[in-house]
Every structure is written in C-alpha cells, then in structure tokens.
Structure 1
C-alpha cells in the first residue's frame, strides 16, 4: 500500500470514528471508594474538537463487556454521544433499553455512591448495565444470570440480583419513554481501539421546575390573584 492509500485510509477511519461536528473529549479515569475496575470519576476533561463541553469531573461506568478498562494513568479520547444505540446488541430496542438504563440508574446509583451496598459492589451495577446492552426486546433477556464466580466477597452479585429482579418484576410497568428526571446519562464512545466506552452520569440542576410542576405553580398563582381581586372588589 502506498503512502497516499495509507493517508486516505487513516482519514476515512478518523471520519468514521468522529462524525463531522461531533464533540471529542479527552479525560482520565480515577478510582473511587466504589470503584472495582469498572467505575470511577473522569477528571481533566478537555474538549479536543467540537463545541460542547463536559464537567471537569463526572461519574463514568463501563458499557462494554470485552474492551480494556482505560485505567487512570493516561488520558484517552472519546466522542460524546447522546445515544445508547452504538452499545446495544439490538439497536432496534433503543427506546426500551434506554428506559431500562435510566430506571436502574434512578433506583440504585445514589444508594451505591452513598455506600449502601458496600464499598466494592460497583461491579454489580456494571453487570446489570452490561445485561441491558444485550436486551433483545423481551422480558426474558432481563432474567438473572448465574454467578460467574465461586463466591461473592464484595456483594457485587447480590446487588446485581437485586437490580435485575427489580427490572424483571417491573418490566411491564416501565414505559419505553421513561427517562430520569434526576440524572442525565450520556455516552463517551471510545476513539482508541480496545478502550472502554463509558456511560457518564451527571445530576441535573432541578432548581427549574418540571413543566408539570410549573403548570401547577402558575395555576396556583392565577387562583391567588383572582381571590385577591375579589377581596378588593
């Protein structure tokens, strides 16, 4: 292959990895108390290209089974995306799979970070997230899988079974349009071959009322104003 062919192939690969206008960020993973090789804070996040920015520190969880964990000694580049689809075995399940991910994060992320499940149970959350990436559109695919280890010293499998039994039991009541009102979940798609892609979790600033709450506040304000006018009359 001549030099021109090599450069052309490299340019094509770069275009496929990061679509035009995509935001590419670079960051480093650092461990936390609930870090078991699969979860942690991403720090020193800088924008390599694109216009969007991310918080300097955010929480990241691995969303792939076989890629190497990025560690925390080197910075890697990622393309920022809002879609869960690139990580799913069946991208056609995107709406329900995204709803299941939000349901799990809503139900267990805060408690895990507060230490409710032990200081090293993070793998249990990751195992549940990995299973959601294998969602095939059926409730059966969300059933509890056997423990792959002989023991469960960190309580990770216990947390996994708790999460998946919750998902399985409540599957019919989880709407495909369900999205967290408390957290934003976005994704960092790896640009370095073999390095983990990450789901990133940031807590929303909920000082601005939700539309339904805002409607209630406005209705209450209109009612108070009407009452005040009646008293003046």
Structure 2
C-alpha cells in the first residue's frame, strides 16, 4: 500500500470515529412497505456509549436525496447529534435550515403517518427534507424543483409540491428560532461508510391543554388537514 493509500485510509477512519464522549447508539434498520423505502424504523435501539437513552424504536427519515431506507439484519452504530449542520450544503445557514426542517415536520409528519398522502408519499417528504439540506439562505432555494420522473403514479411528487409551496409562501414568516413544540428532531450520523445518515423524530411530552384550548386546536387541525387533502387531490 502506498503512502497516499495509507493516508486516505487513516483519514476515512478518523472521519468515521465518533467524538470522545458522544452518545453512540446501535440498532437495526427496518423499512416499512407503506413508505416505499424512504422512511422506516430503527429497532432494538441500545446506547453503546454516552449517557443518553432513546426509545427502543425510532422513526427515521433518510436525509440523503432519494436514499433508500436500508433493510439490514445487522445492527449498525450511529452517533446521535442535535446539530443539523453536518448534513447541510451550507452549514452557515444552520439556524434557518433547522427552522425550515421543523416547520416541514410540524406541518406534514402527523398526516403522513396517518396515511393521508398515500403509500409512496414518503419520497415527497424525503425530497423536501433533502432540499432543506441544500438551503443557501435564500427563499428562491425553497422553490419547487421540476419532477425528475416521467410520471408520478403514487403521488409522491404531489406531496413534495404541497410542502414546498407551503414553505415558499410562508418563508418570510418563519423565524430562524422556530422549533417544534410537538416533536424532538435529532440526527443519526453514520459511523460506517456503508450506512446512511437519518433524521429521527420522537414525540415531545407536552402538558394536556385545557378542554377549551384542546377543542380549538382540534378544530384548527381538522380544517388544515381538510384543506391539505383538497389541495392534494385537486
């Protein structure tokens, strides 16, 4: 092995090693048929190092554009991180990019899990998340990209257009400090060159609202869901 190969191997090993004191988790990735390969679950989650604990099962979204959710029988290890920066094309946009990610998850995660957008719509959310990772600090970068396929039989691109229209139309009103009050969004950074990085979503433990507030929230949520479905079906 020549010197260049040795240095390249050392550099790769260093890049795949978790920082000292970092929380490293291990689990098996299980795809779900419903989301057609772009989302799934990490099951049998255990903490390999660090003090933080996670649920035994995590819902995960592939961060890479068009990345297929793996179906491994072997458990892989990931470094758990709060920072979105390592996954961004421009880490300098970290605050606003994170706010946009939270906005997308807040607006569409629950409906997607409920099955409102169809069996292949996971790709639509995957594509929107990938576009956020490429955010360059401008509203224009959140515009709708052309469909890269000749057809869209499962409606995945249709969901993507709904999400990006929403983000683009409301861009000016989304604060860089915006964070979800419903979901904790974390990241599993790959520790192995054969794996992929994921965003993981867990429910926050919220206080139960007063009955009057709950009724108002439900009424608003039903109205938003109905509007989204009408727009999607149009």
Q: Determine whether 1:53 maps to 2:53.
A: yes
User: What TM-score, normalized to structure 2?
Assistant: 0.81
Contact 2:30 2:70 in 1 (8 A): no
Structure 2 partner of 1:103: 103
Task: Give the C-alpha shift of residue 72 in structure 1.
Answer: 3.4
Kindly report the root-mean-square deviation, in angstroms, between the aligned alpha carbons of the 2 structures: 2.4
Counterpart Cα distance in 2 of 1:12 and 1:132: 27
Structure 1 stretches of at least 4 aligned residues deviating more than 6 Å after TM superposition: none
CA offsets per residue over residues 178-204 of structure 1, 9 Å max, x none? Answer: 000000000000011042100000011
Structure 2 partner of 1:197: 197
User: What TM-score, normalized to structure 1?
Assistant: 0.81
Structure 1 partner of 2:154: 154
Between 1:96-105 and 1:70-79, the stretch displaced more is 70-79
> 5 Å matches for 1:21-170?
21-65=21-65, 69-170=69-170
Counterpart Cα distance in 1 of 2:163 and 2:51: 36
Q: Taking structure 1 as reference, are residues 93 and 11 closer, same or farther at Cα in structure 2, changes over 3 Å only?
A: closer
Structure 2 partner of 1:18: 18
Counterpart Cα distance in 2 of 1:64 and 1:24: 20
Specify the SS of the correspondent of 1:34. helix
Between 1:108-117 and 1:25-34, the stretch displaced more is 25-34
Between 1:26-35 and 1:110-119, the stretch displaced more is 26-35
Contact 2:96 2:175 in 1 (8 A): yes
Q: Taking structure 1 as reference, are residues 29 and 16 closer, same or farther at Cα in structure 2, changes over 3 Å only?
A: closer
> 5 Å matches for 1:176-191?
176-191=176-191
Counterpart Cα distance in 2 of 1:72 and 1:119: 22
Counterpart Cα distance in 2 of 1:121 and 1:68: 13
Q: Taking structure 1 as reference, are residues 15 and 64 closer, same or farther at Cα in structure 2, changes over 3 Å only?
A: closer
- Unpaired runs of 5+ residues, structure 2, are 214-234
Q: Taking structure 1 as reference, are residues 12 and 51 closer, same or farther at Cα in structure 2, changes over 3 Å only?
A: farther
Which structure: larger Rg? 1
Specify the SS of the correspondent of 1:108. helix
